[in-house]
Amino acid sequence: MAAIEVCKGIHSVGVLNPNMRVFDVVMKTEYGTSYNSYLVEGDHKKALIETVHHRYFNQYIQNIEQVCPLNEIDYVVLNHNEPDHSGSLAMLMEKIPNATVVLSQAGSVYIKNITNRTDLKVQVAKSGDVIDLGGKPPSFVSAPFLHWPDSMFTYVKEDKLVFTCDFLGSHYCEPTMHDQEITYLEKYKFAFKGYYDAIFGPFKPYVIAGLEKLDALDADIVCPSHGPILTGGGLLDYTKEMYKAWSTPAEHSEKVIPLFFCTAYGNTEQVAAAIRDGILEVLPGAKCELYDLIDHDLGEMGALLNSSDAFCIGTPTINRDAVPPVMMLLAHVD
């Protein structure tokens, strides 16, 4: 992907990874991902927002240089330090050693360990701080636990545009980075939900707080660091509404008590059915479904588990241990 203009003075300079099928060991990514980065040009200075995965460094540099020479970059803003966004920082700083790295207080601690560099020129950003690029000063909003303690947003008021890193992102990859040009909308929505479940599901109260911060900014363009850019005329309202719905505690008129199991010869399934019958004797209105984990998506099962009033899980044993799908589902418990 080449550099793409988002609006006057702001370019997308990130890279696509259409072939990725597993992210961070545990996430299925059927539609690849992108490592987004953005270049903001003021009248006097320039700032990069995020870097990319270290394997894409050369392509990343080519994209930046389509917009400006590297030595014109004054700041590198890291809204979040996980290596899919900070992985190229150490190599980038070899090329622009005088640039200042801007990050949150927590991020300033992490980055020393991630880069093994203690000599970087670092500026800690607090909520309300700005960096003066000349005519277009990005400001910072603390957004902790979206999804690490270091997370923050970077806002460009003049363009009603906010960089949110992972927040409202998606592991989804199409040639253009614009929500209004997505070809396979249902696939995007599937990827968007899977991303939420895996990354933000454990942080629901912080998601609600993050949405309130976004609304206070009145942003019309959201530039995440994975997946398409979201706009007021496109999917921005949809994505915010979904995050709100998924993060608001469910109120059930009847108890929801799913029974998850794996079964090698049908015995564990029989036990699960007997437990279900017992629950229904006591709570006749309860929603009490059986789920064989082999037949269902683990992300969906995790979301169901975390929105339930109670759950049961059963497993046969192999060498005196639970089988892997059961252990993986338990790893999803918020």
Give contact residues for ligand FEO (rule: CB under 6 A).
80, 82, 84-85, 147, 166, 225-226
As a whole number of Å, the end-to-end CA separation of the chain is 36
Taking CB positions, which residue lies at the least distance from ligand FEO?
82
Burial class from Cβ neighbours inside 10 Å (0-12, 13-18, 19+) for residue 330 reads middle
Shortest Cβ 272–ligand FEO spacing (Å):
36
Contact (CB, 8 A) for 192 and 87: no
Pick between residue 42 and residue 169 the one whose CB is nearest to ligand FEO. Answer: 169
Nearby residues of 243 by Cβ (< 8 Å), 6 or more positions away: 168, 196, 200, 207, 211
Which of 309, 302, 261 is closest to 27 using CA atoms? 302
Pick between residue 89 and residue 133 the one whose CB is nearest to ligand FEO. Answer: 89
Which helix (H) or strand (E) is 40 found in, with range? strand 38-41
Shortest Cβ 268–ligand FEO spacing (Å):
36
Which of 2, 98, 99, 13 is closest to 50 using CA atoms? 13
Question: What secondary structure does DSSP assign to 270-322, as a single string?
Answer: HHHHHHHHHHHHH-TT-B--EEEGGGS-HHHHHHHHHHSS--EEE--EETTEE
Instruction: Please state, as a whole number, how many other Cβ atoms lie within 10 Å of the Cβ of residue 268.
Output: 19
Nearby residues of 67 by Cβ (< 8 Å), 6 or more positions away: 3, 11, 13, 39, 41
Pick between residue 225 and residue 268 the one whose CB is nearest to ligand FEO. Answer: 225
Shortest Cβ 166–ligand FEO spacing (Å):
5
Distance CA(36)–CA(283), nearest Å, equals 49
Q: What percent helix, strand, coil does the chain show, rounded to 5?
A: 35, 20, 40
